């Protein structure tokens, strides 16, 4: 499914034609511009398609006197508003007059700000209307040498408005109506024909980008993957490049956003500019869309995608196969079965290695040691921070047990590593070396989170098949997962979930067991699958294998600090 030509969009895709939009052009007079100022007059004109539908005007009695300077500027005196209604009765009437309309004002931030604050003060819900600012519109539509500034009086004279603004609300609103119509005529010649176009024009969305919105018209309002492409003619014939891959639970809405003012990323602006079309693949479920996106990014490496391009670039800790094994930081595991991770960077893996050295006193040297001939110990051995198997003797005899304890911890018990720092943590805190204690705590926290991640993905990798379903608006979302890889997805009504799951299993991708204890998919895909399985309401239909974590791969909620510091000493109260 694709759209690579600028097809004629439907009215639904274009938006609301400006001729069908009802505008309420409003102007306020106030006691000043501060947050404690009050409204003294509201004037508004309702228009549609160039016709005036109605007007609204009233003075408002403020709670404090009008400053003398404001009286001179507007001509509204304290005597004039003495018998006028208060804002409590005026705003409900204005809300009814303006209901369902687009709000227009000259310097709209000022007027809309006062109205919104007034609504909140009297307990009315602000409707959040679309707001058009004729100042912003004029700055985008007019050339710099056409008018010296964008004040209402200047624009009213330039466009020969029938009403001269005079700092009274209704007069200024009438003048703003004439300015609005003149500006709409001007931007209409620039391809602005809908309310959406108008909003984007004031936010300086280019006409070329707005025109490409038609690419989204054939996309469904359901989950799927989309990808922008660039077609060109090369020396060997037509060439196609996938520029960007994304996913959404509503393809049409997501694709439209790329051609609107809501898209702020400069590199995406550039991508949309060079793209010649967009294609999409509808998916049965949101999870399928997530996984398809990951796989496409990994295989195609689109130049405008940043995340998930290096899904296999991870780091691990493993024990070497030697008489006295040592830790090694690697990016590829090979056939190793004694490993831990993954880590997103080599630095994070090296930090975890320091935690392990402190807990198990494994050797840090890279020297190949003999199990028969002793060699001199290093400074760490002399300080007691290494078992010093190089000297043979007791250190060598106990080294195998230490390595076995480490792999046992990796396999399911994170507590020995966390508890190994208790003495050091207490000393640092007692000496008020809180920054060092914080660094140590963060290092142990990273190790702990990696343990949770490690067992989360391994638990999936051990299952030849999981079939699970989750309730959705359409009935059920059903997934078949094999060795941590999404093998099939489908959606079905509630009364046919069992039949649909059996069909999904029959049609699912064949997945071979990797044999290294890791998922058959990328780690990122396995984590997305795990996150879905852990959602509330997900039900297991069929399991082959044990989807379970070791009980001590984590600690009870809230007990992490106690594992680092140990139990609090008993205190005795004295009287």
Residues 408 and 451 grouped into a single domain: yes
Q: Is residue 494 part of a domain?
A: yes
Residues 355 and 419 grouped into a single domain: yes
3-state secondary structure of 421: coil
Give residue 573's pLDDT: 47
Q: Is residue 11 part of a domain?
A: no
Residue 249 sits in a domain whose CATH number is: 3.40.1440.10
| Domain range enclosing 436 | 342-457
Residues 432 and 471 grouped into a single domain: no
424, 441, 457: which is the final residue of a domain? 457
Q: Is residue 13 part of a domain?
A: no
Residues 520 and 389 grouped into a single domain: no
Residues 39 and 106 grouped into a single domain: yes
Tens of pLDDT, residue by residue over 463-496, are: 999 999 999 988 999 999 999 999 999 999 878 8
150, 166, 192: which is the final residue of a domain? 192
Give how far Cα 305 sits from Cα of 99, 134, 244, 250, 264, Å: 43, 38, 6, 20, 15
Q: Provide the token pair at 516.
A: 């290294």
Residues 378 and 269 grouped into a single domain: no
Tens of pLDDT, residue by residue over 502-556, are: 999 999 999 999 988 899 999 999 999 999 999 999 999 999 999 998 999 988 8
Give residue 211's pLDDT: 75
Residues 181 and 234 grouped into a single domain: no
3-state secondary structure of 521: coil
The Cα–Cα gap between 161 and 167 comes to 15
Q: Are 479 and 488 in contact (CB under 8 A)?
A: yes
Q: Is residue 7 part of a domain?
A: no
Q: Is residue 475 part of a domain?
A: yes
C-alpha torsion angle, residues 44, 178, 37, 56 (rounded to 10): -10
145 DSSP assignment: T
Q: Are 343 and 327 in contact (CB under 8 A)?
A: no
In the chain, which residues have pLDDT < 50?
A: 4-13, 570-575
Do strands 22-30 and 102-105 pair parallel, antiparallel, or not at all (unpaired)?
A: parallel
Residues 41 and 153 grouped into a single domain: yes
Give residue 206's pLDDT: 67
Q: Is residue 518 part of a domain?
A: yes
Of the candidates 175, 447, 417, the residue with the CA atom closest to the CA atom of residue 317: 447
Give residue 8's pLDDT: 45
3-state secondary structure of 77: coil
Q: Is residue 496 part of a domain?
A: yes
Give how far Cα 291 sits from Cα of 221, 424, 552, Å: 19, 44, 30
Tell me how long the chain is.
Answer: 575
Residues 163 and 104 grouped into a single domain: yes
Count of domains observed in the chain: 4
Give residue 340's pLDDT: 95
Give residue 24's pLDDT: 97
Which residues are known to be catalytic? 167
Give residue 469's pLDDT: 95
The Cα–Cα gap between 516 and 332 comes to 12
Give residue 193's pLDDT: 86
Residues 292 and 353 grouped into a single domain: no
Tell the residue number behind the tokens 């830790």, with chain if given: 327
Residues 432 and 469 grouped into a single domain: no
Residues 90 and 69 grouped into a single domain: yes
192, 218, 236: which is the final residue of a domain? 192
Chain centroid to Cα 502, Å, comes to: 35
Q: Is residue 159 part of a domain?
A: yes
Residue 131 sits in a domain whose CATH number is: 3.30.420.10
């Amino acid at each position: 499914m694709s759209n690579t030509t600028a097809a004629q969009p439907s009215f639904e895709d274009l938006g609301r034609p400006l001729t069908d939009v009802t505008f309420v052009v409003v102007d306020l007079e106030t006691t000043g511009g501060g947050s404690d100022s009050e409204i003294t007059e509201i004037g508004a004109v309702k228009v549609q398609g160039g016709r005036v539908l109605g007007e609204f005007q009233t003075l408002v009695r403020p709670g404090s006197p009008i400053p003398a300077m404001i009286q001179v500027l507007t001509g509204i005196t304290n005597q004039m508003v003495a018998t006028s209604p208060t804002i409590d009765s005026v705003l409900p009437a204005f809300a009814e007059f303006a209901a369902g309309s687009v709000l227009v004002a000259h310097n709209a931030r000022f007027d809309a700000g006062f109205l919104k604050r007034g609504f909140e003060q009297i307990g009315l819900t602000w409707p959040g209307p679309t707001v058009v600012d004729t100042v912003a519109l004029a700055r985008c539509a007019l050339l710099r040498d056409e008018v010296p500034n964008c004040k209402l009086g200047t624009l009213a004279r330039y466009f020969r408005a029938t009403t001269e603004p005079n700092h009274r609300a209704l007069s200024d609103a009438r003048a703003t109506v004439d300015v609005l119509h003149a500006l709409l005529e001007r931007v209409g010649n620039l391809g602005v024909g809908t309310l959406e176009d108008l909003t984007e024009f004031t936010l300086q969305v280019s006409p070329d980008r707005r025109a490409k919105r038609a690419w989204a018209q054939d996309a469904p309002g359901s989950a799927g993957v989309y990808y922008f492409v660039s077609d060109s003619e090369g020396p060997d014939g037509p060439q196609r490049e996938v520029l960007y891959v994304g996913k959404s639970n509503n393809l049409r809405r997501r694709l439209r956003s790329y051609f609107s003012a809501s898209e702020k990323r400069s590199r995406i602006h550039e991508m949309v500019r060079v793209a010649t079309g967009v294609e999409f693949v509808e998916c049965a479920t949101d999870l399928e869309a997530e996984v398809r996106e990951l796989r496409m990014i990994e295989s195609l490496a689109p130049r405008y995608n940043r995340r998930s391009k290096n899904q296999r670039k991870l780091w691990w800790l493993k024990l070497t196969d030697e008489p006295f094994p040592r830790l090694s930081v690697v990016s590829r595991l090979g056939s190793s079965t004694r490993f831990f991770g993954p880590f997103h960077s080599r630095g994070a893996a090296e930090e975890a290695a320091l935690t392990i050295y402190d807990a198990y006193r494994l050797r840090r040297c890279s020297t190949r040691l003999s199990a028969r001939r002793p060699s001199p110990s290093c400074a760490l051995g002399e300080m007691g921070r290494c078992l010093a198997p190089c000297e043979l003797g007791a250190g060598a005899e106990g080294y195998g047990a230490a390595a076995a304890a480490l792999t046992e911890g990796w396999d399911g018990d994170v507590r020995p590593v966390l508890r190994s720092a208790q003495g050091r943590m207490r000393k640092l805190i007692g000496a008020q070396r809180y920054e060092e204690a914080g660094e140590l705590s963060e290092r142990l926290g990273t190790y702990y989170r990696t343990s949770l991640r490690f067992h989360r993905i391994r638990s999936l990798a051990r299952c030849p098949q999981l079939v699970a379903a989750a309730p959705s608006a359409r009935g059920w979302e059903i997934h078949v997962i094999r060795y941590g890889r999404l093998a099939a997805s489908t959606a079905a009504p509630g009364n046919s979930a069992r039949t649909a799951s059996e069909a999904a299993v029959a049609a699912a991708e064949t997945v071979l067991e990797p044999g290294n204890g890791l998922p058959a998919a990328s780690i990122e895909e396995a984590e997305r699958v795990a996150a879905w399985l852990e959602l509330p309401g997900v039900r297991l239909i069929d399991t082959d294998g044990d989807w379970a974590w070791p009980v001590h791969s984590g600690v009870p909620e809230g007990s992490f600090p106690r594992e680092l510091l140990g139990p609090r000493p008993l205190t005795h109260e004295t009287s």
